[in-house]
Amino acid sequence: DAGVIQSPRHEVTEMGQEVTLRCKPISGHDYLFWYRQTMMRGLELLIYFNNNVPIDDSGMPEDRFSAKMPNASFSTLKIQPSEPRDSAVYFCASGKRGEKLFFGSGTQLSVL
């Protein structure tokens, strides 16, 4: 398996623009997580899905953030409109309950 695949690897955009981050989890994994990592706040869980259903989105900062998982092999995290404070590395991770979690390589987002 190729592991968790995220795209794009880097994204530079201007404030106010819409940003869409993509994730393909490992086949067979029924949990998918979106994390954000910054120097100041470390790793923060934004939202996670179980069997394509959002279970906990309490970490989503505000209404500008939305996430979808239309099927077991694809998820998106959308920011609209983007702001400079959204600049961070966004990670997608997948796993099975009680087992190791596998992370993608992340998307480095810079909002100017």
Partner 1 sequence: KQEVTQIPAALSVPEGENLVLNCSFTDSAIYNLQWFRQDPGKGLTSLLLIQSSQREQTSGRLNASLDKSSGRSTLYIAASQPGDSATYLCAVRPSTAGNKLTFGGGTRVLVKP
Residue ranges binding partner 1 (CB under 8 A): 4, 31, 33, 42-43, 45, 48, 50, 55-56, 91, 93, 95, 97-106
Nearer to partner 1, 25 or 106 (CB): 106
Nearer to partner 1, 52 or 81 (CB): 52
Closest contact distance (angstroms) between CB of 100 and partner 1 is 4
Q: Judge whether 107 and 8 are in contact, CB under 8 Å.
A: yes
- What is the amino acid identity at position 50? N
Nearer to partner 1, 14 or 43 (CB): 43
Contacts 24+ apart (CB under 8 A), 96-99: 96/28, 96/29, 96/30, 96/31, 97/30, 97/31
Closest contact distance (angstroms) between CB of 54 and partner 1 is 12
- Local structure of 30: helix, strand or coil: coil
